[in-house]
Amino acid sequence: MRLRCVVLDDYQDAALEAADWGRLADRVEAVPFRAHHGSQDELAAALADFDIVVTLRERVAFPAPLLDRLPRLRLLIASGMRNSVIDHAAAARNGVTVCGTGSLPHPPVELTWALLLGLARGVVTENEALRTGGPWQSTVGADLHGRRLGVVGLGKLGTRVAAVGQAFGMDVVAWSPRLTAERAEAAGVGLAPSKGDLFSTSDFVTLHLVLSDTTRGIVGAAELALMKPDAYLVNTSRAGLVDQDALLAALREGRIAGAAADVFDTEPLPAGHPMRTAPRLLATPHLGYVSRANYRTYYREAVEDIEAWLAGEPVRVLGG
């Protein structure tokens, strides 16, 4: 009897086309779920008959109470090599192997710049007006050249974002809790003397930090109050980095020119969530990693993970 594998949240019906699942056809039946299951009860019922689960990034949490309700589950694969919403100790206790996949750095970097440019040049507003017979030109774009880009987090993604800013002729500075002058110099950017200085002097601020106990809420009311009234904030990393209530207040009161967000405290975003109607907000439904090349990487390596696990030699095993 073949094992059963479910691919969660395959919204675009893309998972089975992105890799050669046929290699597993005689041993594994792959089933895509196109709809999101929002509660643990829904997930427990939906996943009860599956031996293998493939999940994208941190879309779906696997805490201990859920894992304890899935006695048939033996292999859990999450795209990327870091996942904070899987209880690894509970997985081990239940005999579930957890594996990851590679993830490309350029898709979220490219989306960061799509959002930043969309904000700066009023792309959505102007496009909507053009398509609906609205005014011909109603916004005055914000220039990038010669203005300051503040990069919060100068890791793999932040460094790439900074390089694009430099290509636009921007003055790029960076800050993070552990960023050193040597690392900033190696990336060719200035080291902001403090978080406050970065927020108060930057025309655009973009966030590229891993969410942890030390970075959660790192952008709050105090940081937003420091921003210039014509400055913009972009977050394609994690919603938890920003105090969402403080951001909504700043947008509603016009204290900053605008913000872009690709990540939210609840995903998919509920229909009545205030982020859906916030003024001065350019929002996308967590598209940072959603690209053809990334999906090919995720699902190709998911197939490899399954093959290796079936052979008794699992690869890319994730711990706590």
Which positions are catalytic? 238, 267, 286
Query: What distance in Å separates the CA atoms of residue 5 and residue 30, rounded to the nearest whole number?
Result: 5
Two structure tokens written together for 204? 């655009």
CB-side exposure of 176: number of CA atoms within 13 Å?
Answer: 23
Contact 176, 152 (CB under 8 A): yes
Pairing mode of beta strands 171-175, 148-152? parallel
Query: What distance in Å separates the CA atoms of residue 224 and residue 24, rounded to the nearest whole number?
Result: 51
Strand partners, 260: 234, 282
Query: What distance in Å separates the CA atoms of residue 265 and residue 147, rounded to the nearest whole number?
Result: 31
217 in the Ramachandran plot: left (φ > 0), alpha (ψ -120 to 50) or beta? left
Instruction: Output 38-45 pairs: Cβ under 8 A, ≥24 positions apart.
Output: 40/65, 40/66, 40/69, 44/69, 44/70
For 85, residues 6+ apart whose C-beta sits below 8 A from its C-beta are: 58, 60, 61, 62, 63
Q: Is 159 helix (H, G, I), strand (E, B) or coil?
A: helix
Considering only the C-alpha atoms of the chain, give the largest distance between any 2 of them, rounded to a whole number of Å.
Answer: 64
Spell out a b/e string for 290-308, using b for 16 or more CB atoms within 10 Å of the CB, else e.
Answer: bbeebbebbbbbbbbbbbb
Of 146, 162, 144, 164, nearest to 154 by C-alpha is 162
Query: What distance in Å separates the CA atoms of residue 180 and residue 226, rounded to the nearest whole number?
Result: 23
